[in-house]
Amino acid sequence: MNYFAIDLGATSGRTMLCRIDDGRIDIEEVSRFANPIIEVQNHCYWDILHLYREILGGLTAVARRGIDIESIGIDTWGVDFACFGSDGALLGAPHSYRDTHTAGIPDELFEEIPATRVYGKTGIQVMDFNSIFQLYAMQKAGNSALAAAHKILFMPDALSYLLTGKMVTEYSIASTSQLLNPVTKELDDELLRAVGVCRDQFAPIVMPGTRVGVLTKEVQRITGLGAVPVIAVAGHDTASAIAAVPAANDRFAYLSSGTWSLMGIETSDPIINERSCRENFTNEGGVDGTTRFLKNICGMWLLERCRNEWNAAGINADHATIASEVAKAEPFAAIIDPDAKCFANPPSMINAIAEYCRATGQTPPEGVGATARCIFESLAMRYRQVMEILDSFAPMPIECLHIIGGGSRNAILNQFTCDSIGRKVFAGPAECTALGNAVMQARAAGEASSLSDMRAIIAASVELVEYSPTSQREAWNHAYRRYLEITANYKN
């Protein structure tokens, strides 16, 4: 059978044709397109109609080839949402989580409802762009779209509504909002009231694998397709990605490596206690009622921002050149905390790294190789720091780390991570999000009966790259002690 996976990240989107035959899956990219943040009047927005048009383009391309597709699924980044009026009309462009309108908002909300109570209800890591803080910021600002909103739909649900005319709230994407209780699996009324909205403004919550509806007559006419079903897959891209981890058992940690690095374990129940609150870990919804207990870490955002600056300056910064230059650079010359607030969205990432180093008594890295090596080594040490915390929470021994997503192609960072954490690393698949999207559709169609069946299809279809720790372990141990000292002393 053929499945159509729409995979939208925070910088680009893809439409993918996925074929499952005899227990194996093949994937073909149909289209790829940019997903730029639009800055207007001191706010940052997503162009949701651009994304919709690109989705229609991918569907049209498949129809022109005469390919019959069983269903369509959409996954996106988390937390962001769109507002719709009582007539079903889109009320303006959705805010981007990179918008600074939430700066300082968590502290303001916590004056009304304590942070420990919010965490106790949701188990979600406090990050100032979470939906709860976006809604509170919009309500305080008198945002006209929110004031008129009949329904609030998270991004994958908003796009499935544009395709089908049917509204749902998919569980995994809703869990990123910091408004959902992972025990009851419902939105929390007290938190909704605190940010000025009510439960009726959200569509009913559905679990991954639920059929939303079929393409509207309008979409059928535009694309040339028939009444193809749209399935609510695990709408949060990380949830889809983790569903595609080709693990043989549950004794693993995962690292979804892309713009963000999301590192965690899969558990049957949420882990919500005083220590998980203090460590700021999050409990997000997964497939089959599982919980993704994880930490959000700033990932390849650091490198991509530097690459943009180098390319703008006429400096070759393709991935092959970066790998070559990193190999020549001095090890552990400069160390940063990838999650320091100064790296969230600075005018110049290169300058921000230099300023961090100067503030911590280090010589700033110069050039492509030194800067990229600083980023890679610092990320690897941050991964070790998070892994050590996961070890203390996990209900099972963590035997290995599965690195998935686009970052799984980065052999240098993968080996650095392996040496840093001191255990085996398996890299791949890179297209895990689209694969997870597709196998969830396959499950809805009856081609898989469980999460383990879904993962078995992936495992039979991809080749993983295995990494083992090298003889550099002691050098990494010494550097890690420096990392802990430097990051503990830095003041944001």
User: Are the CB atoms for 433 and 240 separated by under 8 Å?
Assistant: yes
State yes or no: is 7 an active-site residue: no
Distance of CA 348 to the CA centre of its chain: 23
β-pair type (205-206, 169-170): parallel
Given 7, 75, 188, 237, the catalytic residue? 237
d(CA 118, CA 141): 22
Give 442: exposed, middle or buried? Use CB within 10 Å, 0-12, 13-18, 19+.
buried
Neighbours of 275 (CB within 10 A): 11
Q: Which residues pair with 385 in a beta bridge?
A: none
Q: List own/partner pairs for 396-399 with CB under 8 A and 24 or more apart.
A: 396/250, 396/251, 397/251, 398/251, 398/252, 398/253, 398/265, 398/423, 399/251, 399/252, 399/423, 399/424
Helices marked H in 33-92: 48-64
Picking from 384, 176, 413, 466, the residue whose alpha carbon sits closest to that of residue 300 is 413
* Beta strands across the sheet bearing 282-285: 282-285, 291-298, 260-267, 252-257, 400-404, 424-427, 465-467
Reduced to 3 states (helix: H, G, I; strand: E, B; else coil), residue 72 is: strand
Q: What share of the chain is helix, strand, coil (3-state, %, to 5)?
A: 45, 20, 35
User: Are the CB atoms for 458 and 429 separated by under 8 Å?
Assistant: yes
Picking from 330, 359, 372, the residue whose alpha carbon sits closest to that of residue 475 is 330
Q: Which residues pair with 236 in a beta bridge?
A: 76
User: What is the maximum alpha-carbon separation in the chain?
Assistant: 64
Q: In angstroms, how far is the first alpha carbon of the chain from the final one? A: 52
Q: How far is CA 286 from CA 47, 69, 87, 291, 357, in A?
A: 27, 25, 32, 5, 38
Token pair recorded at residue 343 = 């790296």
Picking from 175, 157, 179, 178, the residue whose alpha carbon sits closest to that of residue 166 is 157
Catalytic residues: 237
